[in-house]
Amino acid sequence: MPRKNPLVIGHRGAPGYRPEHSRSSYELAFAMGVDAVEPDVVATSDGVLVVRHENEISGTTDVAEHPEFADRKTTKRVDGQALTGWFTEDFTWAELAALRCRERLPQVRLSSASFDGAQPILRLVDLLDLVREGSVEHGREIGVVLEVKHATYFSSIGIELAPLIERDLRASGWADGELPLIVESFESTVLSRLRERGIVASYVYLIEAGGRPYDLLVAQGQHALTYKATVTPRGLDGLVGAVDGISVSKKMLLARGNTIVDDAHARGLKVFTWTCRPENAFLAAEFRGSGGKAAYGDYESEWGVIARTGVDGVFVDHPDLGVGFFRG
C-alpha cells in the first residue's frame, strides 16, 4: 500500500543550510526529522568509497587551493560528457582527507557557504556510522538511500563499485536488512550486481526527464530504452521483478496529465521524486516569485502538485520545510 505521507529524504543531508555531504549537513538533517538521508558514492584510486555527488570535486571541495594537487587537474569524459577539474579516482583516500567541503551554490546559498572549509570529506563507512549514531541520539530509525554514481565509467577505468559497496555495507552492518537501506542508481546494471551479491535493500531506478541511461547506451547504443520510455506502462512492465521502485525527476510529475505514480503503483512499484527545493532557481516557472534566484518562491504550491500524485518519497534540500509540508 502507498504511504499516507511520503518518506522525507535529506538529499545529501541538509544542503539548503550546510555544504552538501558534510558531517554537519547530515547531523542537521537528523535533527530536522528526516526519515532517511541520501549519500552519493564515488571511489578513490585505492578503492575507498567517498561521499561526493560527483567524482569531479572542484565545485564541492577546496582542492583548487592546494598547490600540491595543481598537476592533478585534467579533462575527462564521464558518462559521455567532457569535464575539466580534479577527480576522486586520481587521489588516494589519505590525499582526499586533506581537503575540506565547500558550498556548491554560493550565490544561491550564501549562508551555507559561510561554513566552507570547516569539515573534511566523509567516507561511506563514516556516513553509515553517523546515521546509526543519529538514530540512537534522536530515538528513531533513520534510513540510508545510497546512490551509486558512474558505475559504468568506473568499471571502464578498472574500478568495480559493486564489490566495494558490498565490502563497506557488510563491514558497517547495513547489508543484511536489519537497518533501513535503499540502493539507487541511474544505471540498472549496478543495481542488479548488488542484488546478486545478496545485499538486502530496496532497489530503486533513478529516471532523468530526458536521455538514456549510460550503461545501456554503452551496451546497446541508440537501441537503448530512453528514460521517458521506461516510465510508460510498457516500460514499467519491464521493471517488475528487477527493481522495487523508480525515482523520477520532479519535472515528470509536474507535467500535466502524467499517470506515472498510478501506473507504477498498479505494478507494485514505489515512486520517489527529486528534488524539492524552495528557491526560485529550482522551481518550475509558474511557481517562481520575486527577489531573485535565492529567494523562496511559491514552493508550497509546487510541492502540493507533487504530493497529490501519491508519491512514496521526496528528496528535499531543506529537511525542516520538507518535514513540515509533507507530514501534514
Q: Look up residue 303 and give its amino acid.
A: W
pLDDT tens-digit series, residues 266-281? 999 999 999 999 999 9
Q: Rounded mean pLDDT of the chain?
A: 97
**pLDDT at 161 (0 to 100):** 98
Residue 312 · residue 290 · CB < 8 Å: no
- What's the rounded mean pLDDT across residues 296-324? 98
Domain 7-326 falls in which CATH fold?
Answer: TIM Barrel (3.20.20)
Residues 42-65: b if buried by 16+ CB within 10 A, e if exposed = bbbbeebbbbbbbbbbbbbbebee
**pLDDT at 149 (0 to 100):** 98
* Beta carbons within 10 angstroms of residue 322's beta carbon: 29
Q: Would you state the cell numbers that stand for residue 165, as one nine-digit string?
A: 559497496
pLDDT > 70? residue 3: no
- Which has the closest alpha carbon to 101: 127, 122, 123, 129? 122
Q: Would you state the cell numbers that stand for residue 299, as one nine-digit string?
A: 514552493
Residues 164-202: b if buried by 16+ CB within 10 A, e if exposed = bbbebbeebebbeeebbbbbbbbbbbbbebbbeeebebe
- What's the rounded mean pLDDT across residues 290-302? 97
C-alpha 311/C-alpha 230 separation (Å) is 17
pLDDT > 90? residue 284: yes
C-alpha 171/C-alpha 175 separation (Å) is 8
- Is residue 328 very low, low, confident or very high in pLDDT (cuts 50, 70, 90)? confident
pLDDT tens-digit series, residues 200-233? 999 999 999 999 999 999 999 999 999 999 999 9
pLDDT tens-digit series, residues 65-109? 999 999 999 999 999 999 999 999 999 999 999 999 999 999 999
* Beta carbons within 10 angstroms of residue 8's beta carbon: 26
pLDDT tens-digit series, residues 110-137? 999 999 999 999 999 999 999 999 999 9
pLDDT > 50? residue 166: yes
pLDDT > 80? residue 314: yes
- Is residue 1 very low, low, confident or very high in pLDDT (cuts 50, 70, 90)? very low
- Which has the closest alpha carbon to 13: 34, 206, 257? 34
pLDDT tens-digit series, residues 14-35? 999 999 999 999 999 999 999 9
246 beta partners: 205, 271
Residue for grid cell 500500500: 1
**pLDDT at 2 (0 to 100):** 46
Q: Would you state the cell numbers that stand for residue 133, as one nine-digit string?
A: 549514531
Q: Would you state the cell numbers that stand for residue 98, as one nine-digit string?
A: 586533506
Residue 262 · residue 287 · CB < 8 Å: no
Question: How far is C-alpha 84 from the geometric centre of its chain's CA atoms?
Answer: 22
**pLDDT at 4 (0 to 100):** 73
